[in-house]
Structure 1
């Protein structure tokens, strides 16, 4: 009797941990959003001060912007670490050192490319463009501007099953194994109901998909928001170019 109840108890504990981790990760999203709002406000104030040629105050705000971007990065990493540990943890008869598990996962995430550089780049570009719009920043060539402004950590921009842009997905999920992004409803329908795995739909990807390893991790929503923002900026720039082209024709 005891042996048959043990798996049930473990499953219950694992389920509770997953739900708690998911809740904590979701709560962090609102904090990240507030930090980004503060960052945007600091950036806008710096632009105004740059117009007034208050360079010392602009430098002070840049220091604050760096601190905010680092805080944002760390919040996302901690949330992602909690989310990953919650999803991957399997209870055993031994006591678990959750702090160690979280610290290890956090350090793995810290070794990954940071979003911090992109935020600081946005700040510096906004300030630079006040008096030097259209000119490369010091130490950069025109190609560097294109590369920096269009880079993204996302491996695919469309769900290979639904064909929708990931910026339009109501419930995006990402494979914990290959990091490709899918629309949740489409990928769940694609996977076998018996829980077996199926190969990723991205051409050339050797990894397999499993329902329990498809998650909406904290990084994903932030990265999609950033891609959406980059797309809007690109569209605005193209509209300006088109408008200028019409003027030239006249």
Structure 2
């Protein structure tokens, strides 16, 4: 059930959080402490991304089910699903904040004589991030996608109640991907054969092209204009979230194209 899914994800998240503090503490026992802490944080964030990807997939699945239920006019069940999606997105937000807290603590770590309490550092950073205003605008975006999909079942082409032009523009332009095309091949991200993302700057590239670039440009920066991210073979990967985000972008592009066709058809009918 949805509640069991949320509980399982929350339990896993809390276990990973405690494990993260232990891993970071263990890393301080060896040489090159700061570097080892940062590497440990990258592993932890990568693991957490798998949980985030599972939540995103679940939300997408629930959206598709809600659309089918709306077609059958089962309004109460659609509302129950919307409430469950809201709970999942709260969990999604917490997972994101925890990833950001891990990265922040790792990047700011400096060796000291006293033993570092990583659990307290992580908890304090998480609390600060969660309290920040509009800390997870993407949650609003994902919830709006759910409601818009349901609304379009019976009202395709019509704005949702309370919408204004700014809402529509924000919805159409928000995207978790930092770049829409590979800076080296020029291909749209949605058409890349093997997309990979830098663990440092989060830009996306075609795998074969960026690896060739790194081999021929030792110590190179990211090729995106103005980006200072450092490139390394082992830190340019296809993380769990990347495939989900690209698939969502493909889906949004298809929806946008369908909406344009409907709009053009409506204009032609009005002209006649």
Please, what TM-score do these two structures have when normalized by structure 1? 0.68
Picking from 172, 183, 187, the partner of 1:160 is 183
Of 163, 171, 182, the match for 1:140: 163
Post-superposition, which runs of at least 4 consecutive aligned residues in structure 1 deviate over 6 A? 214-220
User: Do residues 185 (structure 1) and 208 (structure 2) align?
Assistant: no
Shift of 1:89: 3.2
1:122 and 2:145 are equivalent in the alignment:
yes
Q: CA separation in 1, counterparts of 2:29 and 2:102?
A: 23
Task: Measure, in 1, the Cα distance between the counterparts of 2:105 and 2:196.
Answer: 21
What is the CA-CA distance between 1:175 and the residue it aligns to? 4.6
Instruction: After TM superposition, list the pairs within 5 Å mapping 1:11-160 onto structure 2.
Output: 11=32, 13-14=33-34, 16-86=36-106, 89-107=109-127, 109-110=129-130, 111=132, 112-141=135-164, 144-160=167-183
Over 3 Å counting, the alpha-carbon distance change for 1:48 and 1:201 in structure 2 is: closer
Distance 1:120 1:209, change over 3 A: closer
Conservation of the 8 A alpha-carbon contact between 1:80 and 1:217: no
Distance in 1, Cα, partners of 2:48 & 2:85: 19
Structure 2 vs 1, CA of residues 42 and 109 (structure 1 numbering), >3 Å: closer, same or farther?
A: same
Q: TM-score, normalised by structure 2?
A: 0.64
Looking at structure 1, the residues matched to 67 and 256 of structure 2 have their Cα atoms a distance apart, in angstroms, of 20
Aligned residues, how many? Answer: 230
Cα gap change, 1:185 to 1:90, in 2 (>3 Å)? farther
Superposed CA RMSD: 4.0
Cα deviation, residue 37, structure 1: 2.8
* Distance of 1:37 and 1:121 partners within structure 2: 16
Give the match for residue 4 of structure 1: none
Give structure 1 stretches of 5+ with no counterpart: 1-6
Deviation at 1:121, TM superposition (A): 0.6
SS at match of 2:31: helix
